[in-house]
Amino acid sequence: MKKHLIAAAVAAAVGAPAMAQNVSIDGYFEANYGSIERKAASTTKTTSLNGGSDVFGGSEINLRGSEDLGGGLKVGFRLTKEFNESTGAQVSNGGEWTNALISISGSFGEITAGRFISGARDLGGIYRFNGDFGRVNSFVNTAGNRPANQVQYTSPSVQGLSLVVGSAKGEAEGTASATEQRLVALRYTQGNLRAMVSSAKISGSSDGTTTTSAFSGNQKETAIGASYNFGFARVGVAFFKDDIEGANGSTAAKADGKATNLSVEVPLSGGLTLMGSYNKYSSDAASADGTGTAMGVKYALSKRTNLFAVYNRDSNEANANWNFRGYGGTALSFGEDMTRLVVGLNHSF
């Protein structure tokens, strides 16, 4: 009897690692000091800690966990809190938790459910080498930005190709809403080349590119992009196109938007890296085009810590208010230009 008990205990001990649960905490901090000049009918200049929000990304803390279920299956979760490091205030981004998801993965791929950034937002980040630096503005780039009630499937990679399919319904218990996002994307990764094409349909959307009041309608977003690492430099290009329709299919308030991005990153000796990005925005609304230019340098103190300096300039026509993606201050007025110089420190853990 004792031998059987000992054998059972040994078997349980050997099998334990296959069923082990791992929980970890990671995050990102960024502090910066910047000067901002806004020029429209009059010119205003400000200087502040946190220089108009983040440059490379918002400060956050992640709680992650995973469990090996055996047989190649794994379950995982993620909870994210974003915050303003200058004040300690929570940054909700539309919810108590910025990300709140659970997933199951195996040889079939991965299924994820909850509230989270879709795998195709910003074309999976293929043109973004440094977080939010030079990122296409969310007036055009809207699909997959943490919709609630989302379910997403990501296929295994076959010859460098993988598929992402997702759906999110804007509904609550006892009620129904027309708001819905459906997204499909194809990603290719092979050696130094990365590319993605995506298509999203958003119903019950508000039009961010129009100068008229917001409306409930339909929006279709198509995006394509690629990046290549040449060794001496990484270069990325991306194109976004939004087709907007008003409620019930009306095009009376239509203001389709387009954005083109060119990004480059050049590593130098001694831990220095040069960065550059150019965004061109256009809209079907009259006199609503704009441009954004960003230049920067970062110095790696370690693999996780960087000093940086960034300059960006945004120029707008009379009916446009495009701005640098990392700028989190008061929205620009139509026709207002902005320049920003920021120095700072970031750290990942």
Q: Note the pLDDT tens digit of each residue in 305-341.
A: 999 999 999 999 998 888 877 777 778 889 999 999 9
Q: Which of 319, 348, 250, 345 is nearest to 51 (CA)?
A: 345
Looking at the predicted structure, is the pLDDT value of residue 211 above 90? no
Q: What is the pLDDT of residue 246?
A: 61
User: By percentage, how much of the chain surpasses pLDDT 90?
Assistant: 51
Instruction: Give 2-11 pLDDT, tens digit per residue.
Output: 444 444 444 4
Distant-in-sequence, close-in-space partners of 160: CB < 8 Å, separation ≥ 6 = 188, 189, 190
Question: For residue 52, what pLDDT is reported?
Answer: 53
pTM over 0.95: no
Which segment of 54-63, 75-84, 139-148, 195-204 scores lowest on mean pLDDT? Answer: 139-148
pLDDT bracket for residue 93 (50, 70, 90): low
- What pLDDT, on a 0 to 100 scale, did the predictor assign at position 171? 66
Q: Helix, strand, or coil here: 328?
A: coil
Task: Determine how many CB atoms are found less than 10 A away from the CB of residue 210.
Answer: 22
**Rounded to 10 degrees, what is the CA torsion of 294, 120, 139, 58?**
-60
Let me know: does 130 contact 275? Beta carbons within 8 Å.
yes
Q: What is the largest CA-CA distance in the chain?
A: 90
Cβ–Cβ contacts within 10 Å for residue 290, how many?
24
Residue 311 to residue 295: CA distance in whole angstroms? 5
Please say if the pLDDT value at position 113 is more than 90.
Answer: yes
Strand partners for 153: 111, 165
Q: Is the pLDDT of residue 298 over 60?
A: yes
pLDDT at 159 over 50: yes
Please determine, for residue 41, whether its predicted confidence score (pLDDT) is greater than 60: yes
For the structural domain made of 22-348, what CATH number should be given?
2.40.160.10
pLDDT at 176: 56
User: Per-residue confidence at 45, pLDDT binned at 50, 70, 90?
Assistant: confident
